[in-house]
Chain A
Amino acid sequence: MIKHQKPEAFYDTFERKGHDEKVTHYCPGCGHGTAQKLIAEAIDLLGIQDRVIFHSPVGCSVFSYYYYDTGNIQCSHGRAPAVATGVRRTLDDAIVISYQGDGDLAGIGLAEIMHAANRGEQITVFFINNAIYGMTGGQMAPTTLLGQKTATTPLGRTHGRDGEPMGMCEIMEALTSPVFIERVSLSTAAGVMKARKAIRKGLESQIQHKGFSFVEILSPCPINWKMTPVSARKWMKETLEKRYPVKTFRDQITERPEIDTHQRLPWLNDEELIELLQGNEVLPVCSGSGEAPEEQRIKIAGFGGQGVLSAGVLLAKCGISEGLEATWLPSYGPEMRGGHANATVLLSPDRIGSPVVDDPNVLIAMNGPSLDLFEDTVAPGGWIFVNSSIISREVRRKDVHVFKIPASDIAKEHRLLAAANVVMITAYMVNTKAVSVETLRSILPVSVKKQEYVQTNIKIIEQTIAYCRDA
């Protein structure tokens, strides 16, 4: 039964329009008015008016908010499915409608519609296909037929220059996520009846949490087609529907299970959230070895895989635990070389300026190339720690302290070669006393990913201390 009174989901007068508030902005013979009325009636019938959020992107659809007495979002050209996604992921109970034209959906917004469809967003998309751009003045749309004359194809669309008209339902059908895909046509009264049903089903699919639904509505645009309303409908029936067959492409509303596109885990309250963010990485407070050290500008360098970056992290953590300021910066910029890694750590009782260091006072060299690269940069009076398992040459500098330790061999003895870095930083701590080895022991449990390695690391630290004592 066709209702002739204005649906509840429409405003009585279109005050947002600002003038001629009783009539729409659509041209004589346009299909938008019919399509929008069918949608409004479906909203009434399904009792969802309060829940609807109606998206009108750019095109003739842009002023939908003049008419719908529902929540309204006007959005940018082609992006309504992305905007609708944002709404969908925020409001569980809203009924999210995207109402888009052919330039909007199949042209500029092709990425957004395809990905929203592929994610199976629980939204309903009404796609008005009138084979032309309306609002901007009758230019070629992706759906314009071959030979069809438009403002930008004055001699007609050609295959060679412009490509073929795009069938969006056919493209949509290639995706498995959409639950309901149907093309209808407003060319005849019978077509309108079918459209009414498809529009309702598209919304029901969403109400039942079945997923993404897509209703393509072939719609007349007599003004831009340069036809009378009657001849426009005839052309639709005889020509447009030949290229865009009216049919149900997919209807799996009944058989599909309800889906939860959010896949959200339980909401954490404040305490749980803090616990999550702190993880098990909150650093203990340690007293250190007494006097605050002078600023430590530490460069740790070696092969990728020698734990250079993580050694730096351990040092920075020790500093923080002892109440020092600390920065850690991975190899970056001109000093980076292929396959090599280095980290810069600053420890200071004062606020740290640049985290980038050009004159380290400590160099921890895990391999030969690192020593070659950074030996000359070390500040006079500084320290160079050498992994003598790998580096055979002597340190040339005479104005720095040098300590050599077979770090890789010590780590290997404990069958944990990856802990050579721990040997090196332990040697640094024992020799300079800038931070305490005790602190290193304390932070291991909040630093080592595999807890079974904590004890091995402790043993490696003990052996390193013994080595340093005897050296």
Chain B
Amino acid sequence: MSKRLMKGNEAIIHGALTGGATHFFGYPITPASEIAHAAAQYFTLAGRTFLQAESEVSSINMLYGAASAGARVMTASSGPGIALMAEGLSYMAGAELPCVVVDVQRAGPGLGNIWPEQSDYNMVIKGGGHGNYRNIVLAPNSALEMFEFTRTAFALADAYRMTVFILSDAYIGQMMEAIDISGEMLKGERKPWALYGDRNSRNNLITSILMNPELQQRHNEKLQHKYREVEKQCISFEQVLTEDAEVIFVAFGISSRICMSALRALRARGIRAGMLRPKTLYPFPGEALASLAAGGGRTFIVVELNDGMMADDVRLAVGSEPMLLRYNWLGGVVPTVDEIVQRTLQDLQKEA
């Protein structure tokens, strides 16, 4: 065992470096700045590259450049900064460049505040920028998963030539838990499509412009085909006591931690509660939800720190039949375990 206690935000950088990341470009924003601080320290000391950009717009374009040159590259920000990156993310998708972007969500809209929300869901999961494209979105709910998901995100990004998001929140970023850093060191390889400033790569072209509509359509079809493949290969989720469950929480990130405690409290009161926790938000574990809904009789409670963004996707997955409740907190307010327990009890009573 070689365990260290660290914040989720710091664990991101430990995961990145053991995952083969060589470059970090970023711009400070609360509550994600600690990631840049850790990167400034560890990337620099490790002989890797850390550079503070002049804006998030520049950060994402520095990622575009470094990814074009074959690097395993990342940035980290929060809602307002991610919004500024939207154009760059679309370009990355169009040019099929791999990168890792961490979003430690805060409350919005506008400047909002620095407390946790999960309201970047639609922006990040549905793409965010212009055009038909997707990001792979991983949703850690512990410091350990911040470490592990970031560690493996670079290989995933390289394999599909896509942006991989780590969608976190202010709580998961601030919370300290144990991390074990003794695992295998991962590394990127030379990419046949990238530019290295040498003869072998001279004919390579990184671009997202195709003036001919038919070629642009063909390119889009290629991307869509890739996304279907991602949907087949990359879905990841956790089920907690769903087998006999009459009530199933659907939650990710900090909400899923609170639901974990809530379902135990409900079980202690004789309510058969369970949880499906997506670890990937895109691709979304819709089929797993559909099979839980099959046969009927189950109530789904989608617990989110937003206005019900994921609940829309859950509804799409389970169809119109099952009872689906939306428990939403906005503005940085985080529910207590007891609030969720009491509300569930009340709603179940109403239902009965």
Contacts and interface: CB of A to CB of B under 8 A. Distances in A.
Q: Which size class do A's interface residues fall under?
A: 35 or more
A52 B197 contact: yes
A27 interface: no
Most chain B CB within 10 A, of A73, A84, A278, is at A73
Contacts of A359: 338
A353 B49 CA distance: 36
B252 interface: no
A69 interface: yes
Interface in A71-95: 71-76, 79, 82-91, 93-95
Nearest to A84: B65
Contact of B65 (A83, A265, A266): A83
Nearest to A324: B178
Among A83, A95, A112, A274, chain B packs the most CB atoms within 10 A around the CB of A83
Contacts of A285: 1
Interface string B315-352: 00000000000000000111011100000000000000
Contacts of A358: 336-338
Contact of B46 (A52, A94, A276, A327): A276
A85 B50 CA distance: 12
Chain A interface, DSSP helix/strand/loop, else mixed? mixed
A90 B23 contact: yes
A366 interface: no
A284 to B, nearest CB: 9
Interface in A240-294: 262, 264-268, 270, 272-274, 276-279, 281-283, 285
B65 A355 contact: no
A166 interface: no
A270 B46 CA distance: 10
A333 B176 contact: no
Given A265-B45, A273-B185, A79 B198 contact: no
B152 interface: no
A412 interface: no
A37 B71 CA distance: 31
B47 interface: yes
Interface residues of B, number: 81
Given A79-B58, A356-B171, A262 B64 contact: no
B196 A274 contact: no
Contact of B205 (A16, A93, A281): A16
Contacts of B174: 329-330, 332
Tell me the interface secondary structure of chain B in the complex: mixed
Contacts of B78: none
A87 B5 contact: no
Interface in A87-130: 87-91, 93-95, 111-112, 115
B239 interface: no
Contact of A73 (B51, B57, B206): B206
A90 B115 contact: no
B198 A50 contact: yes
A70 interface: yes
A333 B332 contact: yes
A112 B58 CA distance: 7
Interface stretch (A173-181, A194-202, A312-320): A312-320
Contact of A91 (B197, B199, B203): B197
Interface in B162-212: 170-171, 174-178, 181-182, 185, 195-199, 201-209, 211-212
A354 B337 contact: yes
A334 B95 CA distance: 44
A459 interface: no
Given A89-B23, A326-B5, A334-B333, A82 B53 contact: yes
A209 B96 CA distance: 31
A356 B334 contact: yes
Given A82-B57, A283-B5, A358-B336, A327 B202 contact: no
A90 B63 CA distance: 10
B108 interface: no
A277 B42 contact: yes
B202 A265 contact: no
A72 B46 CA distance: 30
B195 A87 contact: yes
B178 A49 contact: no
B292 interface: no
B181 A278 contact: yes
A10 interface: no
Given A74-B207, A79-B58, A353-B261, A90 B176 contact: no
A323 B124 CA distance: 37
Contact of A354 (B1, B5, B261, B333): B261
Given A86-B61, A87-B66, A283-B5, A328 B175 contact: yes
B197 A276 contact: no
A60 interface: no
B47 A264 contact: yes
A333 B334 contact: yes
B29 to A, nearest CB: 17
B47 A355 contact: no
Contact of A332 (B58, B66, B171, B181): B171
Interface string B222-245: 000000000000000000000000
B27 to A, nearest CB: 11
B285 interface: no
A82 B47 contact: no
B66 A355 contact: no
Nearest to A92: B197
A62 interface: yes
Given A87-B195, A354-B260, A356-B334, A74 B209 contact: yes
Contacts of A16: 205
A83 B62 contact: yes
B4 to A, nearest CB: 5
Interface in B270-286: none
A111 B181 contact: no
B259 to A, nearest CB: 8
B81 to A, nearest CB: 15
A273 B91 CA distance: 33
Nearest to B55: A111
Contacts of B45: 265, 268, 276
Contacts of B67: 86
- By CB atoms of chain A within 10 A, which of B48, B202, B337 has the most? B202
A365 interface: no
B309 interface: no
Given A50-B202, A274-B185, A277-B18, 14 more contacts: A49-B202, A74-B207, A74-B208, A83-B65, A83-B68, A84-B65, A87-B69, A112-B58, A273-B17, A278-B182, A283-B4, A283-B5, A332-B115, A332-B171
Interface of B: 1-5, 14, 17-18, 22-23, 25, 42, 44-49, 51, 53-55, 57-59, 61-71, 73, 87-88, 91, 95, 115, 170-171, 174-178, 181-182, 185, 195-199, 201-209, 211-212, 257-262, 264, 332-334, 336-338
11 contacts: A50-B197, A74-B208, A82-B62, A87-B69, A90-B49, A94-B69, A268-B46, A272-B46, A353-B257, A353-B258, A355-B175
List the 4 closest A-B pairs by CB distance, nearest first: A86-B65, A94-B197, A353-B261, A353-B260
Interface of A: 16, 18, 49-53, 62, 65, 69-76, 79, 82-91, 93-95, 111-112, 115, 262, 264-268, 270, 272-274, 276-279, 281-283, 285, 313, 316-317, 320, 325-330, 332-334, 351-356, 358-359
